[in-house]
């Protein structure tokens, strides 16, 4: 897979077309609700204030993340809903997605601090990107999570 051949696009909530929003919500539910068998309300009220990174291959959504501004979820900016289509996992797409999210956070909010609620099994992955564990694990929608901070 060549990352340069993929279509990467940032959009605010108001810039999302109706069909794009539907595709994002379907994509997130397919991964976080169906695949992970975690029955939770994905529409948490943060989509409207967030920036959305959509990654497409030949017109199909294959990757996504949501960048939430400081003061909405945490005092720092927050990256969440990081998701990759099952057929594209293990190809470093997640690294590119996360790095673009962190860069956009610096550009949009003027500094690089970012707090996430990571699934516990991904601690070492996020540590490779500079995040550090904050506090103790907790249950979020039936899945062990941990807060992590990238102090930029």
Q: Per the domain annotation, does 141 fall within a domain? A: no
Res 141: pLDDT: 80
Q: What is the pLDDT of residues 93-130, one digit of tens each?
A: 999 999 999 999 999 998 889 999 999 999 999 999 99
Q: What is the pLDDT of residues 15-60, one digit of tens each?
A: 999 999 999 999 999 988 777 777 777 789 999 999 999 999 999 9
Res 2: pLDDT: 76
Q: Per the domain annotation, does 136 fall within a domain? A: no
Q: What is the CATH number of the domain that holds 78?
A: 3.40.630.30
Q: Per the domain annotation, does 70 fall within a domain? A: yes
Res 140: pLDDT: 86
Give yes or no for a contact between 149 and 131, defined as CB atoms under 8 angstroms apart.
Answer: yes
Q: Give the mean pLDDT of 127-151.
A: 94
Q: Per the domain annotation, does 46 fall within a domain? A: yes
Q: Per the domain annotation, does 47 fall within a domain? A: yes
Q: Per the domain annotation, does 12 fall within a domain? A: yes
Q: Per the domain annotation, does 131 fall within a domain? A: no
Q: Per the domain annotation, does 78 fall within a domain? A: yes
Pick the closest to residue 130 from 143, 115, 109 (CA basis). Answer: 115
What is the residue range of 40's domain? 3-111
State how many domains the chain has.
Answer: 1
């Amino acid at each position: 897979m060549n990352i340069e051949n993929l279509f990467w696009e940032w959009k605010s909530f108001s810039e999302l077309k109706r069909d794009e929003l539907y595709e994002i919500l379907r994509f997130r539910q397919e991964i976080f609700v169906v695949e992970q068998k975690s029955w939770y309300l994905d529409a948490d009220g943060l989509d409207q204030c967030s920036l959305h990174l959509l990654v497409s291959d030949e017109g199909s959504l294959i990757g996504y993340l949501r960048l939430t501004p400081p003061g909405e979820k945490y005092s720092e900016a927050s990256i969440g809903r990081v998701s990759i289509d099952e057929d594209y996992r293990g190809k470093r797409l997640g690294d590119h997605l996360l790095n673009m999210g962190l860069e956009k956070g610096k550009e949009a909010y003027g500094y690089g601090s970012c707090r996430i609620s990571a699934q516990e099994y991904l601690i070492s992955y996020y540590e490779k990107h500079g995040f550090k564990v904050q506090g103790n694990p907790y249950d979020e929608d039936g899945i062990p999570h941990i807060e992590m901070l990238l102090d930029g």
